[in-house]
Amino acid sequence: MHLTLPGLVAERLQSPYPARRIVVAVSGGPDSVALLRAVLSSSRLDTIVIAHVNHSLRGAESDADEDFVRRLHARFQVEHADRLHFECERIDTASQARTERVNLEALARRLRYRFLVQVAQKHCCSCIVTGHTANDQAETVLHRLIRGTGWRGLRGILPRTRLNPALELRRPLLSIRRSEVLAYLEAIGQDFRSDSSNADLRFLRNRIRRELLPLLEQRYNPAIVSILTHVAEQAQHQYRLLRQQARRAVKNSELPRAGATLVLNVTKLGRVPELVGCEALRLIWRREGWPIDRVGYRSWRRVWDVVMGRTSAVDLPGGVQVRRRGNVLQVQPRTPT
């Protein structure tokens, strides 16, 4: 695989439409370093921006990661001249998480992608690429299964995500196993950094990576990574169809608003299967910007009970009220008292 990895990356940067100015997210770990080396081998790219975020979470180790990525840029700057650039941001993520009282991992991800978008805009890039691999995909699917998920969550990490009309996020290595990445790096004599926090078994994601996935490979099926990536691909196809049906259900059942109250025709909405109807309600929640993180499977089932007339009302986490009045469903955020 190490002989074809650069070709595979080049192909995925050109499909479904070509990207000539890209941002490469480089942490210093093996996956992102392999991605960078593969990207640098492409002659079709006009601009390559190496982007690194120092979250200041591991003290001297974080600083050493930053220094490593800076040295990578300096090493390849000679060969790639004006088309290679470097951007770095240092953030006290732990302090900000305490101030905002939010999950540290989620905040780090949000800050990292915000920075990547800013870098892309600064350099007029149409594409951001990250080094997520098939192993990351398998770990994500298992993580979501353990915590509870549906079709949307089973999609795992998407190969492409539209961030805004002018910018797309792509993950060219998503079908490549980490062992193949390491083989490629060894073949070209490229070193990389290792994140010590990945060994901390207090985190569920690390236990999946270091304990559960190896156990499944050794004791149950050596092809488990490929199987889970295929599950994610199938879930993506199924969810795409589900979302199309849900959008039609919203269009067919939504009535004119009554002030701040959203109104739906329950006769029309109730004609679709429950799975489609609940997804239609999720689409409405996201469109309206209502709190959705704490609205799980059971909550949507309770809303569907209101739609079908099995109960008359329900209050959802996040302060959204759902009421049935005759043949209409009234949905509105709770008015502050």
Q: Convert the pLDDT of each residue in 24-38 to its tens digit.
A: 999 999 999 999 999
pLDDT of residue 148: 84
Higher pLDDT, 16 or 131: 131
The verdict on pTM exceeding 0.85 is yes
pLDDT of residue 2: 44
Q: Are residues 179 and 65 in the same domain?
A: yes
Q: How far apart are CA 253 and CA 270, in angstroms?
A: 9
For tokens 């295929």, the residue is: 230
Q: Convert the pLDDT of each residue in 43-65 to its tens digit.
A: 889 999 999 999 999 999 999 99
Q: Are residues 212 and 251 in the same domain?
A: no
Q: Are residues 49 and 186 in the same domain?
A: yes
Cβ(130)–Cβ(34) below 8 Å: no
The domain that holds 166 is classified in CATH as 3.40.50.620
Q: Convert the pLDDT of each residue in 324-337 to its tens digit.
A: 999 999 999 876 53
pLDDT of residue 180: 94
What is the domain count for the chain?
A: 2
315 in a structural domain: yes
144 in a structural domain: yes
For tokens 């008015």, the residue is: 335
Q: Which of 222, 256, 273 is the last residue of a domain?
A: 222
Cβ(58)–Cβ(28) below 8 Å: no
Mean pLDDT score across all residues of the chain: 92
234 in a structural domain: no
Range of the domain at 200: 5-222
Handedness of CA 53, 56, 59, 60 (dihedral sign): positive
Q: Which of 222, 251, 271 is the last residue of a domain?
A: 222
The domain that holds 287 is classified in CATH as 1.20.59.20
Q: Are residues 201 and 244 in the same domain?
A: no
179 in a structural domain: yes
108 has pLDDT over 50? yes
For residue 309, count other CB atoms closer than 10 A to its CB: 11
230 in a structural domain: no
pLDDT of residue 138: 97
